[in-house]
Amino acid sequence: MSRERPASAQRPYLLRAMHEWMTDNALTPHIVVDADSGNLGVPLEHIRENRIVLNVSYAATRGLVIGNDSVAFEARFNGIPKALNIPVDLVLGIYAKESGQGMVFSDETKSPPDDPGPADDTRPKLKVVK
């Protein structure tokens, strides 16, 4: 009997891909984090509207690891180093400082509304075009 494994969350994979793309293109990746969900270990004066923006470039961090469960790194706030371990679920988006290009993440825990789509006989037919 075969057991299906549930699909893993897309967010950490997309986060890593966007971070790599930005780094490869000499852009500065920043993440937007929901700071309302707990103690992140960041100084409160940096939190705005229950969110904090963190520079996650290799130049601004030390030991950056974007894992499946968390984004871990050391950063300096007012010259004081702090080790951060941000749960991936709290990362709301990632964008490049220079261009604003990036990605906003949706809530993966919500399932899409039921949409049965068109009946089988009305579905579009695909054909190979040579």
Range of the domain at 74: 11-107
Q: Is residue 42 part of a domain?
A: yes
Q: What is the β-pairing status of strands 29-34 and 91-96?
A: antiparallel
Q: Is residue 26 part of a domain?
A: yes
**pLDDT given at position 45:** 87
The structural domain count of the chain equals 1
Q: In the structure, what pLDDT confidence band is assigned to residue 111 with cuts at 50, 70 and 90? A: very low
Q: Is residue 5 part of a domain?
A: no
The residue-averaged pLDDT of 95-105 equals 95
Q: Which residue has the higher pLDDT, 41 or 100?
A: 100
Most confident of 8-12, 70-74, 109-113: 70-74
Q: Is residue 53 part of a domain?
A: yes
CATH number for position 96:
2.30.30.220
The residue-averaged pLDDT of 15-32 equals 97
Residue 89 has pLDDT above 60, yes or no: yes
Q: In the structure, what pLDDT confidence band is assigned to residue 127 with cuts at 50, 70 and 90? A: low
Q: Is residue 118 part of a domain?
A: no
**pLDDT given at position 123:** 52
The gap from C-alpha 102 to its chain's centroid, in whole angstroms, comes to: 10
pLDDT tens string 33-82: 999 876 788 888 889 999 999 999 999 999 999 999 999 999 999 899 99
Q: Where are the alpha helices (DSSP H) in 3-130?
A: 11-24
Q: Is residue 59 part of a domain?
A: yes
Distance CA 34, CA 42 (A): 12
Q: Is residue 33 part of a domain?
A: yes
Residue partners of 96: CB distance under 8 A and separation at least 6: 22, 25, 27, 28, 29, 30, 102
Q: In the structure, what pLDDT confidence band is assigned to residue 6 with cuts at 50, 70 and 90? A: low
pTM for the model stands at 0.77
